[in-house]
Structure 1
């Protein structure tokens, strides 16, 4: 595994670029209103992710799912009501984990600084600190997001990139949020940690074109290994996204994808576009020489999607319900 370095203040140029947008975040946003906010988040993550490293992948996924629907406004954290089915209950989000982590951090911050730190900022900070805890890079998280009041399940269903998506759809969805093709290749590298359910790859293994066949883009030997774990109709078993190091944030994902062993169709799709394919092969060949820096930069960019600032939205007292 290549070493990951601390990047200090490397993102100021990126922040200047982002400054032209209406939403302006800033480093150290809570330095006066809640000086220990980021330390409180970090302390909690350090205590709990160490004992449950799989939560890092879950939190990264939650942050991603939040930002791709209505922007990074914490809408994925809201619970459904009698009158509304929230994002949390949309099919793609029903396997999300880690809500208890965000709630616990929010509770700690409310005791110290009531009504100050948003749930959307907490999610962004916890995602960063969790990645760092399992050997990934550090990046500076600009804060100042406010929480949204709207969460609609159907928006998650239609806006979230799917594990079944082809490269054309993936590029369109990332472009719609202001992210580049490179960001697509970089953020896909988050699959270096975590697990996937057999139900999400069943068609690839047993009925790819409706004729009882296996996805030809999948390495046959890897497909055979997956079939041993994922029997037809198996809905409970999970498999590692990055076999052998799924709890460590490293560059192995790209080596696996380059060998046609990406677990999801969306992983394999990176080989179907010249730019994403070149990125996969470069990171595989150089042992992830730029992956740490690239990942931090793309996470900062993602964290700007559709944010609410100033007097927009609210600062929720509890992350699961609007005030």
Structure 2
């Protein structure tokens, strides 16, 4: 009976730790935030991500995209993981609907963390760690993840539609979108290197490969894609790799493809099209170590994006719904 009472007390304290707090009172992020609260956190998350990537390498790219789409909309608060509630959430936004995936990977990681450390770790921190692990498991760099985030209690479809750059974005729009988040043009180019893994839907590159005027594209590359993604339509869901050479390896192949005019999306090729980022793209294409270093630093900076002060936050027990 005494032992049972102690277990109940621990569970009650864990639930109390998950109650809402305000962004303005949240502690500063720290790499040591969970050292005492949940010492097994990072290996627990890595194990879940490793299982997913071993089963499907594209799961790593999916988790990475989740992190980007979360942080760019009202900060890194796991709002992208929420199912629709009384108001439309981010999952159904234009850049996310029928495109964003990997939710089940975060669900599995969060469940394992809850079993080890009930009520202690936010979904936002699980997602940040999972994104880092997805990169390193696919052959890319690693970095120390700063933790201590809290989870949003709601999500905004309008904010997702307004904040996420689309595949048709030009270079000025891309630079402006990242600048609005406090990220430099160099950060933008390095972070775009996430497209060295993963696939895109035909609906996102149809115009580019079907000889639209003004597209800087390798003719042979475009011709090879038109069969699966014809101008007439009807194949919106057909997939093509963002890196045509090593689509499941996190390397600098994406930048080599840009130099060869084989960027899949218009927004990709805009990084190497006679503009301000050409020299940096050439550097990354020839120096993978430079890309890895800049990418890791930019991921830390992006991971620092926080919700607006006064945003209702909590540590969600289930990443798909508020407590």
Q: Which residue of 2 aligns with 1:280?
A: 281
CA contact (8 A) 2:215 2:266 kept: no
Asked whether the equivalents of residues 187 and 299 of structure 1 are also in contact (C-alpha less than 8 Å), the reply is yes
- How many angstroms apart in 2 are the aligned matches of 1:225 and 1:280? 24
1:202–1:115 distance in 2 versus 1, CA, 3 Å: same
User: What is aligned with 2:9?
Assistant: none
CA contact (8 A) 1:145 1:307 kept: no
CA distance in 2, matches of 1:182, 1:175: 10
In structure 1, C-alpha distance between the alignment counterparts of 2:114 and 2:250, rounded to whole Å: 31
| 1:310 CA displacement | 12
State the Cα distance separating 1:260 from its structure 2 match: 1.1
Change (3 A) 1:107 1:289: closer
- Corresponding position of 2:218: 219
Q: Is 1:145–2:146 an aligned residue pair?
A: no
Offset from partner CA, 1:160-215 (integer Å, 9 cap, x none): 0111100111111000001000011101111000001111111223373xxxxx54
The CA deviation at 1:262 is 0.6
Deviation at 1:271?
2.0
Structure 1 residue aligned with 2:95 = 92
1:179 aligns with 2:183: yes
Contact 1:102 1:122 in 2 (8 A): yes
Find the counterpart in structure 1 of residue 313 from structure 2. Answer: 313
Q: Segments of 4+ in structure 1 off by > 4 A?
A: 307-312
Q: Report the Cα distance in structure 1 between the residues aligned to 2:181 and 2:46, rounded to whole angstroms.
A: 28
1:250 partner SS? coil
CA-atom RMSD, angstroms?
1.9
Cα deviation, residue 23, structure 1 = 6.6
Give the secondary-structure state (helix, strand or coil) at the position aligned to 1:201: helix
Tell me the SS of whatever aligns to 2:74.
coil
Alignment of 1:163-312 (within 5 A): 163-206=167-210, 208=212, 214-231=213-230, 232-233=232-233, 234-272=235-273, 274-284=275-285, 286-307=286-307
State the match for 2:8 in structure 1: none
| TM-score of the pair, normalised by structure 2 | 0.87
The alpha carbon displacement at 1:48 in A equals 2.5
Following TM superposition, by how much is the alpha carbon of 1:121 offset from its aligned partner in structure 2, in angstroms?
A: 0.4
Task: Count residues in correspondence.
Answer: 295
Structure 1 position 47, deviation (Å): 2.5
Q: 1:273 to 1:32 in 2, by over 3 A?
A: farther
Query: Contact (CA 8 Å) 1:49, 1:133: kept in 2 or not?
Result: yes
Q: How far off is 1:27 after superposition? A: 0.5
Q: Which of these two proteins has the greater Rg computed from alpha carbons? A: 2
- 2:95 partner SS: helix
C-alpha deviation, 1:54, in angstroms: 0.7
Following TM superposition, by how much is the alpha carbon of 1:217 offset from its aligned partner in structure 2, in angstroms?
1.1
Shift of 1:218: 1.4
What is the rounded CA distance, in whole Å, between the counterparts of 2:77 and 2:87 in structure 1?
18
Secondary structure at the aligned position of 2:313 is classed as: coil
- Choose which of 42, 64, 70 in structure 2 pairs with 1:60: 64
The CA deviation string for residues 100-138 of structure 1, in whole angstroms up to 9 with x for no partner, is 111111111112211110000000101111111111111
Alignment match of 1:120 (pick from 124, 127, 131): 124
* Structure 2 residue ranges without an equivalent (≥5): 1-25
Give the Cα separation in 2 of the matches to 1:259 and 1:179.
Answer: 27
Deviations 1:68-108 (A, max 9, x none): 00000000001102x21100111211111110111111111
Structure 1 unaligned blocks of 5 or more? 1-21, 209-213
Q: Is the 1:70–1:306 contact (alpha carbons within 8 Å) kept by the matching residues of 2?
A: yes
